[in-house]
Amino acid sequence: MTSVHGFVDESIRSGVYRLTVVRVVTRDLALVTRKVREAVPPGRVRIHLSSERPSTRREILRACGRLEVAATVLETAHRRGDDQPARDRCLRALVGTIESDPITVLILDTRGPDRDKLDRSALALALGERHLHYAHRGSRDEPLLALPDAIGWAIGAGQPFAALVSGISKTHRC
């Protein structure tokens, strides 16, 4: 069985909560990390699409689209306010995708100690007796968290941005 790392980040736009998981084959981690670092705009520490110019967004998304990765974007309705119910639905759906498309290690973008604790509870409930190695990390510490951030942003932004990552992403309702 091939070992796979999954990197997870959320995006909220226009009443839709998106949880994006990007799968990277473990043997490709160093190469993909290098390519992500090369895509960081000059003078920046990391990639975060919401703060980039449209031309820079297109460059970054084209670079993402050329990577040997696969993204699953899980979408659910979201009302302003508490996003935890929507996130919990998406985390349950994510665990469901892991059964058919295994992930060895899951890295979630941290949202702070209290909210990370809620994620751990939701994951434990969804996993039941199954086991999954997972951790929360900051996007400054884990460059590959830029991938779900960028892909989730692109899908939420619609065309023409979503087209730049359509070859590596699938979207599902949850």
Q: Is the pLDDT of residue 114 over 80?
A: yes
Tell me the percentage of the chain whose pLDDT exceeds 90: 84
List the structure tokens of 165: 């990552």
The SS3 call for residue 159 is coil
Residue position matching structure tokens 């884990």: 142
Give the number of C-alpha atoms closer than 13 A to the C-alpha of residue 104, restricted to the C-beta side: 10
Count the domains in the chain: 1
Print burial letters for 136-166: b (CB count within 10 Å at least 16), e (below 16).
beebeebbbbbbbbbbbbbbbbeeebbebbe
CATH number of domain containing 58? 3.30.420.10
* pLDDT interval class at 99 (50, 70, 90): confident
- HSE of 48, CA atoms in CB hemisphere, 13 A: 12
Between CA 92 and CA 100 the distance in angstroms is: 14
**pTM of the entire predicted model:** 0.95
User: What local confidence, expressed as pLDDT, does residue 50 receive?
Assistant: 82
Could you tell me the residue range of the domain that residue 95 belongs to? 4-173
